């Protein structure tokens, strides 16, 4: 069992706040993703759990034991880094075996443990090779196997896929997903890639400026973002956000008029997902504007228009054809709209 508790954990360097009041319990065997842009505090949070950064305030508990003062080696966690951190003079077999030697594990068990870990990440045919002879994806799998062989209580993964190309990211992501199911070990995974977060996580923690913005399942965060920042960060494409004014239940902005809203009069930000809207007949929709750009995605065509300073997108059928500058009409039912406070971005109306 490896339940992790972060009790009002904070990290400061002088007057700079890296992480503020992080309070969360991570369940045994849970796959938790820390998601946010660069500099939001997600890696710092992971490094505090690992013991690589000191905690300025608060407590970190693993299995009910406070670990603030424990050395990294005594916390029974295994880390997988973005940079692989392999030993270039050792072959794959010895790289995977190294944690067993360092921890004084019975040498008679090493071969079986190494081969079990390498089989899990499909490295058996590469055990004799040096890291320089491997591709980026293979090196990352060596790093994964080296963490697996430890049989730790907790896996910590810091952007492990960011150095891989798009195709390798997809296949390695699937491998990590399968491994997490097979190993059933508490895992904390740091990424700025919301697709990784949505596909891997049991729960996602969205962070900004060292502060937790929302915690929830991928579905909860996608369907009911807590604020405009979360809405803009989750989804591919991100949620469309438009600034405008509501009067008597009608939202008005440049090229836009949406009626039937349950919202107070005054300025607010309105959001909707590209896949929830659709193209309408001429002048029959709630947005009527010239096409700014068209993107053919294969399964759909992404049509974008400008609304004030915002670029607003809608998914059209893959057969849709038009030219930039042609006027389109976009249908946005009021029930698909998300409303946010114009000043602080907080969600309105539950």
The mean pLDDT value for 218-239 works out to 94
Q: Are residues 193 and 173 in the same domain?
A: yes
The answer to whether position 234 is within a domain reads no
What's the confidence (pLDDT) of residue 141?
87
110 within domain boundaries: yes
User: For the chain, what's the residue count?
Assistant: 350
pLDDT interval class at 1 (50, 70, 90): low
Same domain for 182 and 251, yes or no, is no
* Claim: this prediction has a pTM higher than 0.85: yes
- Give the model's pLDDT for residue 350: 65
**pLDDT category, 224, cuts 50, 70, 90?**
very high
Residues 50 and 172 in one domain: yes
pLDDT digits (tens, 9 = 90+) for 295-336: 999 999 999 999 989 999 999 999 999 999 999 999 999 999
The answer on pLDDT for 270 being more than 90 is: yes
Residue 160 is predicted with a pLDDT of 85
Tell me what percent of the residues of the chain surpass a pLDDT of 90.
75
The alpha carbon torsion through 199, 203, 208, 209 (nearest 10 deg) reads -130
CATH number of 46's domain: 3.40.50.300
Query: Where residue 170 falls among pLDDT bands split at 50, 70, 90?
Result: confident
pLDDT of residue 205: 98
Cα 85 from chain centroid (whole Å): 23
Is there a single domain that holds both residue 31 and residue 172?
A: yes
What Å distances lie between residue 188 and 35, 41, 202, 253, CA to CA? 11, 14, 10, 42
Mean pLDDT of 96-121: 91
pLDDT for position 163: 77
DSSP structure string for 169-201: HHHHHHHHHHHHHHH--EEEEEES-HHHHHHH-
d(CA 49, CA 29): 16
Same domain, 25 and 162: yes
Q: Does 310 share its domain with 257?
A: yes
- State how beta strands 31-35 and 186-191 pair: parallel
In-domain check, residue 14: yes
Q: Residue 104's pLDDT band (boundaries 50, 70, 90)?
A: confident
CB of 97 closer than 8 Å to CB of 124:
no
Listing from the earlier edge strand, what are the strands of the sheet with 16-26? 16-26, 4-13, 57-62, 65-66
65 and 196 share one domain: yes
What confidence tens digit (pLDDT) does each residue in 48-92 have?
Answer: 999 999 999 999 999 999 999 999 989 989 888 877 788 999 999
Give the domain range for residue 29: 4-228
Chain centre distance of CA 7: 22
Please count the structural domains in the chain.
2
Distance CA 85, CA 73 (A): 17
* Domain membership flag for residue 217: yes
């Amino acid at each position: 069992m490896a339940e992790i508790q972060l009790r009002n954990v904070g990290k400061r360097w002088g007057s700079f706040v890296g992480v503020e009041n992080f309070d969360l319990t991570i369940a045994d065997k849970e796959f938790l993703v820390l998601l946010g842009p660069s500099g939001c505090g997600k890696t710092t949070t992971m490094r505090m759990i690992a013991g690589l950064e000191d905690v300025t305030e608060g407590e970190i508990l693993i299995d009910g034991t406070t670990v603030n003062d424990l050395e990294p080696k005594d916390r029974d966690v295994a880390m997988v880094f973005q940079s692989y951190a392999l030993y270039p003079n050792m072959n794959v077999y010895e790289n995977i075996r190294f944690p067993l030697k360092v921890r004084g594990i019975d040498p008679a068990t090493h071969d079986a443990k190494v081969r079990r870990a390498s089989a899990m990440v499909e490295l058996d045919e590469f055990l004799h090779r040096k890291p320089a002879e491997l591709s980026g994806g293979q090196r990352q799998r060596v790093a994964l196997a080296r963490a697996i062989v430890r049989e730790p209580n907790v896996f910590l993964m810091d952007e492990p896929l960011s150095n891989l190309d798009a195709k390798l990211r997809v296949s390695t992501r699937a491998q990590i997903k399968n491994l997490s199911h097979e190993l059933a070990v508490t895992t904390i995974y740091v990424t700025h890639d919301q697709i990784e977060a949505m596909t891997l996580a049991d729960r996602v923690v969205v962070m900004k400026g060292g502060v937790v913005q929302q915690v929830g399942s991928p579905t909860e965060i996608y369907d009911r973002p807590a604020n405009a920042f979360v809405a803009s960060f989750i989804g591919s494409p991100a949620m469309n956000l438009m600034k405008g004014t509501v009067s008597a239940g009608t939202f008005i902005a440049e090229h836009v008029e949406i009626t039937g809203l349950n919202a107070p009069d005054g300025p607010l930000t309105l959001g909707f997902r590209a896949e929830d809207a659709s193209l309408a007949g001429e002048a029959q929709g709630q947005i009527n504007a010239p096409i700014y750009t068209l993107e053919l995605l294969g399964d759909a065509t992404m049509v974008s228009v400008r609304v004030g300073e915002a670029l607003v997108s809608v998914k059209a059928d893959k057969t849709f054809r038009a030219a930039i500058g042609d006027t389109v009409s976009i249908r946005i039912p009021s029930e698909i709209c998300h409303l946010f406070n114009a000043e602080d971005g907080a969600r309105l109306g539950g």
